[in-house]
Amino acid sequence: MGKRCPLCGGRLEEKTATLPFVVGDTVVIVKGVAAEVCEDCGEAFLGGKVADEVTALLQDAVHRGVELSVVTLSPAPASS
Ligand SMILES: [Zn+2]
């Protein structure tokens, strides 16, 4: 609550998003990404842990040389 988009100042909403990532010739569409999404400009901001998971997925896809991959992140376990 109360977080603001650093790009446009819009309100950030925590949601589970489907986000496309492009790395070179590889396109990876990641579903189930827990992100804070700006209501105004639509920019999505990932938390550190989620960003790490997405980065690992992207690196794996690039390493395998896939052109298009659709993956679903497993829900993060509830942290105590
Ligand atoms: Zn924004």
Supply the pLDDT for residue 78. 65
The model's confidence at residue 74, banded by pLDDT at 50, 70 and 90, is: confident
Q: Taking the CB of residue 68, how many other CB atoms lie within 10 A of it?
A: 11
Which residues keep their CB under 5 angstroms from ion ligand 1? 5, 7-8, 10, 38, 40-41
Element (H, E) at 70: strand 68-72
pTM score, whole prediction: 0.80
What is the pLDDT averaged over residues 20-36?
A: 95
Q: Are strands 26-38 and 12-23 parallel, antiparallel or unpaired?
A: antiparallel
- Ligand 1 centre distance from Cα of residue 37 (Å): 8
Looking at the predicted structure, is the pLDDT value of residue 1 above 60? Answer: no
44 Cα to the center of ligand 1, angstroms: 9
For residues 50 and 73, the answer to whether their CB atoms sit within 8 Å is yes
The mean pLDDT value for 51-69 works out to: 95
Please say whether the beta carbons of 21 and 54 come within 8 A.
Answer: yes
Average pLDDT across the chain, whole number: 92
